[in-house]
Amino acid sequence: MAKIVFFENIHPSARAVFARAGLTDITTYNSALSPEALIEAVRGAEVLGIRSRTQMDRAALAAAAPSLRTVGCFCIGTNQVDLKGAAEQGVPVFNAPFSNTRSVAELVIAEAILLLRRVPEKSDRVHHGHWDKTATGAYEARGKTLGIIGYGNIGSQVGTLAESIGMRVIFHDLEAKLPLGNARAQPDLSVLLGEADVLTLHVPGGRGTENIINADTLKQMKPGSILINASRGGVVDIDALRDALVSKHIAGAALDVFPVEPKSVDEPLASPLIGLPNVILTPHIGGSTMESQENIGIEVAEKLVRFIQTGTTKGAVNFPELSYEDAEGAARLLHVHRNEPGVLASLNNLLAERKLNIVSQRLHTKGGIGYVITDVDGNIDAGALEAVRKQSSTIRADVV
């Protein structure tokens, strides 16, 4: 019976998946914990379920060792986990790269329409007693150009929805991507910036995308255009965006992510964009719909259960990927090791010495990590498992 610990109010659909698999030893925390409290909470856990606020750094991973077998990120991002440290500890990390794409895409399209129609500022004026019934500066989405930076799972779906309401779609991506519908790739970013009436960002975080929207790129944007960021907070220079909004070079903006986000419900957001009438600010809710959270709970929990029960790592973001296959022997050995010559031969010799015949074996490597699933026709007793664990190349070994 694996010990499972959930943080940050993970949807009950995840618990239901574990329950169907007979895994019911689940401890739940409704929020992220302080680093000190987290270290205590993860001790002895075999499975951890987290969302974006729980920081699984090296200290937290070390506290969970050696019992920790896997981490599930019930969200798209995995930058809250030290992925390299987890891999070095033999711990695969799973996420949900597809389950909330529709939720994010719908929010982006909704915000584009609201900003084109100047709804945020019109609504604010009505609340303050002004009946500003004018069409000045208000536009339909139909016929406008949507520019997408980052044409992945979310960006491509945003483009599909945009085309359904009559928008022209162009996109820029560092990798060659097959366009959906009538979308057109634009390899020159400056051309895309100059053509887009609405610009939406769907790129990963990191040094390669930090402040890709800055004072210079904002100047290249079409005058009177709109910027939407539902990707990562660090990809937009907020001060430069404020200047562009105040000068009215940019007509409006919607941000769902920020460089520094509040850590609790009651902590206010600190941003120079607060108070600007043509700006929509939302608290990182792009993927936060009831449907998406339910789907994320199911998707990640199913990956975790499959790994616990069969060792399959398909979909792991930091680990060699081995797809599901039915067990062919009496026992299955999961062996994570340093990617060195002779490891497989040494493992097989050890099993042969113990009269354990191999009926199926699959190996895959990723960087410095190797992972092999071996089905044998006999019982792998405690002595045999301990012998595998004592091999110089072994990172971890388990039997399922």
pLDDT exceeds cutoff 90 at 145 = yes
What's residue 131's pLDDT? 96
Q: Which of 118, 202, 242, 284 is catalytic?
A: 284
| pTM metric for this prediction | 0.82
What's residue 206's pLDDT? 85
CA dist., res. 172 & res. 55, Å (int): 31
* Domain parsing of the chain, residue ranges: 1-100+290-315, 101-281, 325-400
Q: For residue range 45-85, what is the model confidence (pLDDT) as tens digits?
A: 999 999 988 999 999 999 999 999 999 999 988 989 999 99
- The mean pLDDT value for 357-366 works out to 96
What's residue 37's pLDDT? 96
What's residue 302's pLDDT? 97
pLDDT exceeds cutoff 80 at 263 = no
Superfamily of domain 325-400: ACT domain (3.30.70.260)
What's residue 264's pLDDT? 78
Q: How many CB atoms lie within 10 A of CB 34?
A: 10
CATH code for the domain defined by 1-100+290-315: 3.40.50.720
Q: For residue range 285-321, what is the model confidence (pLDDT) as tens digits?
A: 998 899 999 999 999 999 999 999 999 999 999 999 9
Q: Where residue 339 falls among pLDDT bands split at 50, 70, 90?
A: very high
Q: Which of 106, 121, 195, 261 is catalytic?
A: 261
Same topology, domains 101-281 and 325-400? Answer is no
What's residue 256's pLDDT? 97
Q: Which of 172, 232, 306, 332 is catalytic?
A: 232
- The mean pLDDT value for 258-262 works out to 92
**Residues 6 or more apart whose Cβ sits within 8 Å of residue 181:** 159, 160, 163, 169
**Rg for the chain, CA atoms, rounded:** 25
User: Is 337 annotated as catalytic?
Assistant: no
Structure tokens, 387? 């012998």
pLDDT exceeds cutoff 80 at 139 = yes
User: Is 40 annotated as catalytic?
Assistant: no
User: Is 284 annotated as catalytic?
Assistant: yes
CA dist., res. 83 & res. 384, Å (int): 30
What is the CATH architecture assignment of 101-281? 3-Layer(aba) Sandwich (3.40)
The two beta strands, 93-94 and 70-73, are parallel
pLDDT exceeds cutoff 80 at 193 = yes
